[in-house]
Amino acid sequence: MSILRGKNILLGISAGIAAYKTASLVRLFVKSGAHVRVVMTPSAKEFVTPLTLSTLSDHPVLSDFTDENDDNAVWNNHVELGLWADLFIVAPATANTLSKMASGNSDNFLIATYLSAKCPVYFAPAMDLDMYKHPTTKNALDKLQSYGNILIPSAFGELASGLVGMGRMAEPETIVGTIEQHLLEGLPLYGKKILVTAGPTHEAIDPVRYIGNHSSGRMGFEIANTAAQLGAEVILISGPTHYKALYDSIQTIPITSARDMYDAAHQYFKDVDAAILSAAVADYRPKFPAVSKLKKKSSSLVLELEKTEDVLASLGEIKEKQLLIGFALETENEVANAIKKLKAKNLDLIILNSLNDDGAGFGGSTNKISIIDKDLNQTNYPLKSKSEVADDIINELIKRVHA
């Protein structure tokens, strides 16, 4: 899913022929997971209907300070709407609307809302060739950018007049992509690549049975989603789980066994800035898995087990610039055992949780952790949802990858 997921997007539409493209633009924003509301200038309704846009956005479309045909004259609160928005996009931005935005000439609901907005404002100009070249238009473009507004440049192409040149509104896909890229570049993990492991491993006894554990994979997926939300490119190596990554910038590598996890982690580790190994990798596996299903012939079954590959320790041995973070799930002598693991596996941070703490551990929606760094500084956190725990872990990572 897009970085726009969960964002409140306000789309302002002014009266130009390019307004017909805004139906596609609203659809793309909604598909990205954003909440979309639309404001229009009164004349814009001649080019695209409010009914179309309200249907696509699932919100009423506003174009005036009071609702039309409403005897009670309920006021549409432009201030509240401007404060609601995380992003405000004016598209198409006609020469008339650009001039009003630049001068503050608040003679319609769209401009009043623009003047009330506290969020980043993007604008996509659309007009005919000579209008686009006019000095007053250039002056408006320069002034709006000097105010901190972000220009989505017009494109070269065929115009409504039949002329060919600059002034064509950027295509909806270009507008969405430009905004996504701009947001990503401002995020603290932009340009960073993070490796995350998640879930259990299954070690085959025979073709239908395995040794496993109770890990659901939820903690690792929350970590991956949080890292992606903050701009990182994420490699998520996951054992068997029903969870799905939420963002397009997460590449999920499905694996089954500890050996699979080891091979995948070593394939990607050399190219990452940090690795967070939250997977619950089996410590042992059957030494001689059966090639066909074992029959229940006796009252007992003896399996010879062998150690699996130690993924975390093996990465600790070869790490160079990478920040390496591991997990310790303990039941006794928790802090001492976690510190022992931190040192033995050459980690930068270890995330300790205890099965003795209510709400912590496998399967649930919450966790309670302590974070210990290689200098043995320890930070204890209260019981939180796993998404909030992921925030705490990624915040610690951010401090160190930018140090």
Domains of the chain, first to last: 8-185 (3.40.50.1950), 193-287+305-401 (3.40.50.10300)
Given this model, what pLDDT does residue 203 score? Answer: 97
Q: Confidence class of residue 74 from pLDDT cuts 50, 70 and 90?
A: low
pTM: 0.84
CB 291 within 8 A of CB 268: no
**71: helix, coil or strand?**
coil
Contacts of 336 (CB under 8 A, 6+ apart): none
Beta strands in 75-128, from DSSP E residues, in sequence order:
87-93, 121-125
Alpha-carbon distance 364 to 215, whole Å? 10
Active-site residue among 8, 213, 337, 346?
213
Tokens 């970085």 belong to which residue? 3
Res. 304: pLDDT tops 70: yes
User: pLDDT tens digits for 233-262?
Assistant: 999 999 999 999 999 899 999 999 999 999
Per the structure block, which two tokens stand in for 367? 């966790």
Given this model, what pLDDT does residue 73 score? Answer: 60
Given this model, what pLDDT does residue 351 score? Answer: 96
Is 139 annotated in the active site? Answer: no
**111: helix, coil or strand?**
helix
